[in-house]
Amino acid sequence: MPRLIRFLVPQKLKYRLFTAFVCLILLPFGALNLYNFQRIETLVQKKISQQSHYQLEQMYRTLEDQISIAFKTLIFLQQDDTVKSVLIHPEQRNVLENKRLMENIFKNLNNSFFLYNPSVYFMILDLNESVYTSYPPKDALIYKDLRNNPGFNRSLMNTSSYHWVPSDGNYVLRDVSTSAYLLSLYAYLEDTQNQTYGMARISIDYSYWLRSIHKQSDLQQQYFVITRSGENISQSVPDSVLAEEVKARIAEHPGQQYFIDKASNSLINYIYVESLDWYIVNRIPLSVLFVEIEGLKQQYFLTFFALTGIFLMITLVISTTITRPLSHLQNKMKAAVQKNLKIRLPEHKFSGEILDLTRSFNTMLDDTNLLIQKLKAEERQKEAVHFQMLLAQTNPHFLLNTLNTIKWMAIRENNEDITNMTLSLGRLLEASLNTDKDLIHLKDELELVQAYVHIQQFRYRNKFEVTYHYEEDILYALVPKLSLQPLVENAIVHGITALPGNGLIQIVLRRDGNRLIVEIKDNGVGMEQAGMNRAPRKRPGIGLTNIKERLRLLFRGEGSLEVLSSSEGVMVRFTIPFLLSTPYGNEHPA
């Protein structure tokens, strides 16, 4: 296996560069171009399909508009007093006058409602064996046959006395329309007392509608109207047939918009007309869609393979030009490595890019030697700093051990005050020494505050009182360590001590949505008076500044701190994200 790998992988840098160019650039580039071309072809097909489907949606809306307008026409006929007068009292005028009035009404309806679709026909029957039509019949109309048409069967109508017949046989309009079927609205005309005084049939020639849409189309596409069961109703091109396999697929996937029919090499789009239980189908030959893409594909691949050949030759020339001087430079670098970077490469023997490379290499040697020296110096400094840190840590630990000694002495002497003070101070000192955690539970932070308050109560002889207001379910929220104690300290030192009487400090903690709000209130003298009473300090205060900086580092822009001062005291409020960290086995609610 290693021999086979060595045989397949070129050993010379020139051939490796050539192979790398081919494998890493040429082949991925070629594959990417093929993929992109297929994607473009797919996107073009999808775009055309979407446009075709949009066209079908427009047809669907047009058909729905025709149906809506036909229904509005029926209402108009039912409400027209002239129509009612002609049908109920035909004896008031002669036959020709009645016919002329009805024809004028039909003409006005066509001009008003069906301006863009003249293939709409009206027929009205009264109860006195008279028939009025908007078209000239070739043969005499027999009232009895028209009256007994199944479309006028009341059992098939709804409570409004009308219904649609999607595939109404064209038994009257053979001389006017060549369509085998019409879309007809059959209805009974009734007065306000629901008394029938006539019958109406409004027919739409959808075959004419399909042919008119086909003439407007730019592509060689065909339109079909079929029922859900697959029965052909109409087609835009005479003698065109939709395959049974296509009908079956449409019936199996009614929600799909389009698919490719490989048998006819065409794109099939369809849309369901729910009100009529029809499908409007559009068939577009793929050869028409992609005739320009096929020509573009041939030009593309010819250009691609020509450029690929040129690329291979240029790659071989470039790799040879690069590797020849590099081989010479390689030998010089080996000598530099053997002498621990203490030599310089001769620059007078090279020119061009290799000269720049030689100069850069010499500069790198100088910088490397300088960097090594700096690293050695920094390492010695780090060791010295580490030693100082270890030495500095002994002082707080020594103080903690001393406090423990004082605590045990106080216990032996039964001095509870000193014992409690040393316990509180030890707890604060342990918290400051623990640098592993930046966030602690609110419960632990409150214990540290209570320890600090306990010490200050001894110092100021119970001059102030501290109250706590919080809900139990937030005790395990995470807060920055030692964030409340400096605020309580400020309230005591700057606000309470200057009061002539006793002071009150309120610690209020509450949850507001996904935020935790902490408020420290005092009834002291306020910040302005405290500033006037403050004695000069040997070092600047760091309480508020320290907390504000820690909130910025821990919570970025989600933490805030604000100070509200008045003559009646100061309130410090900081807001942080609410982070709940309930310990395992704890019974508090999460």
What is the DSSP secondary structure assignment for residue 475, as one 8-state letter? T
**pTM above 0.75?**
no
What is the DSSP secondary structure assignment for residue 253, as one 8-state letter? -
3-class SS at 447? helix
CA 128/CA 91 separation, integer angstroms: 10
Angle at 279 between CA 276 and CA 285, to 5 degrees: 155
Beta-sheet strand order (sheet of 560-566) = 464-469, 503-512, 515-522, 569-577, 560-566
CA 550/CA 542 separation, integer angstroms: 12
Q: Determine what percent of the chain falls in helix, strand and coil, rounding each to the nearest 5.
A: 55, 20, 25
**Residue-wise pLDDT tens digits, 388-445:** 544 444 445 445 555 666 666 667 667 666 777 777 776 666 666 565 677 889 998 8
Beta carbons within 10 angstroms of residue 105's beta carbon: 20
Helices (H) and strands (E) counted in the chain, each on its own, are 16, 17
**Residue-wise pLDDT tens digits, 199-248:** 999 888 777 777 777 666 665 678 888 888 888 877 777 778 888 888 88
Residue 339: pLDDT band with limits 50, 70, 90: low
Most confident of 37-46, 403-412, 493-502: 493-502
pLDDT of residue 260: 83
pLDDT of residue 254: 78
- 306 in Cβ contact with 43 (< 8 Å): no
pLDDT of residue 585: 45
pLDDT of residue 485: 86
- 90 in Cβ contact with 68 (< 8 Å): no
pLDDT of residue 387: 52
Instruction: Output the CA torsion sign for 582, 585, 588, 590.
Output: positive
What is the DSSP secondary structure assignment for residue 335, as one 8-state letter? H
Note the Cα 473 to chain centre separation in Å. 36
- 575 in Cβ contact with 515 (< 8 Å): yes
pLDDT of residue 399: 57
Residue 371: pLDDT band with limits 50, 70, 90: confident
What is the DSSP secondary structure assignment for residue 583, as one 8-state letter? P
pLDDT of residue 471: 93
Residue 479: pLDDT band with limits 50, 70, 90: very high
- 488 in Cβ contact with 507 (< 8 Å): yes
- 520 in Cβ contact with 562 (< 8 Å): no
β pairing state of 464-469 and 503-512:
parallel
Residue type, 525: V
Residue 538 has pLDDT above 50, yes or no: no
Taking all residues of the chain, what is their mean pLDDT, rounded to a whole number?
A: 77
CA-nearest of 228, 204, 224, 226 to 214 is 224
CA 373/CA 367 separation, integer angstroms: 10
pLDDT of residue 402: 57
The maximal CA–CA distance of the chain, rounded, in angstroms, is 136
